Amino acid sequence: MSQFNEPSSEPSSRTGAPAPISPPRTGEPKARIVDALMELAAERRWEDITLSDIALRAGMSLADFRDHFPSKGAVLAGFARRIDRIVLDGTTTDLAGESAKERLFDVLMRRIDALKPYRDALQSISDWSRSDLMGSAALNGVLVNSMRFMLEAAGIDSEGPVGSLKLQGLALAWNRVLDTFFDDDDPGLSATMAALDRELTRGDRLVARAEDLQRITAPLRAVGRALIASRRNWRQGSRERYRDRSERDWARRGDIADDPAI
């Protein structure tokens, strides 16, 4: 892996602000790239960060960068996996007897604690995503994947239609909690904790309604599946009857053609 032994100035951002000189870096290349991106995101607008900027800040060539990540978005997904790992490594069974809401609250507050060093960078990325629909959709996909593991760490099922609702609902709620987190100057993060508690209480009610609706509509869905299966079988039977009739017709025509009386 190539290293730059002599410090040099990084390219200026597109806004013209001079970039600080980065000392040579050591450590695992992917971790260096993730660190470099988050540092730059705390200093500049997301759209002003180039791949070359990240590579130089990470102390490697652009070719070496490409060996590890194909884009800025992929690096950001790598950052999300880093935070997931921190939270999951700290997961225990201490709260096994608590409610699902309390378990999830504990998991997500540990995620907030892991995000504290990156607050400025995350706010910059959040500001950018509000004006970029495609970027916002990509970020949502990364976040939903993270929330899948957060629910699992809290012992909460995320499978099936209601599971999908939980995942997307939690991702949206998490973004609202982050908005509070960005402005929360209290060392104890009291406003963030209150926002998280409020969002989880609201989510609990929505999930309960969805589960009730699923139970109520289960017989109707069973009837619907039976009707669909019946219609599918009828179409299959019709095709087979048509094919059999066609084969018999062709067979009769062959018999007629072979009849010497014709």
Contacts of 195 (CB under 8 A, 6+ apart): 176, 177, 180, 181
Q: What is the pLDDT of residue 161?
A: 83
What's the rounded mean pLDDT across residues 18-28? Answer: 56
**Nearest-angstrom CA–CA distance, 104 and 158:** 13
Residue 94 or residue 148, greater confidence: 148
For the chain, give the number of residues.
Answer: 262
**Nearest-angstrom CA–CA distance, 211 and 173:** 19
Residue 15 or residue 26, greater confidence: 26
The pTM of the full predicted model, rounded to 2 decimals, is: 0.71
Closest by Cα among 133, 119, 124, 204 to 170:
204
Residue 159 or residue 16, greater confidence: 159
Q: Is 44 in contact with 17 (CB distance < 8 Å)? A: yes
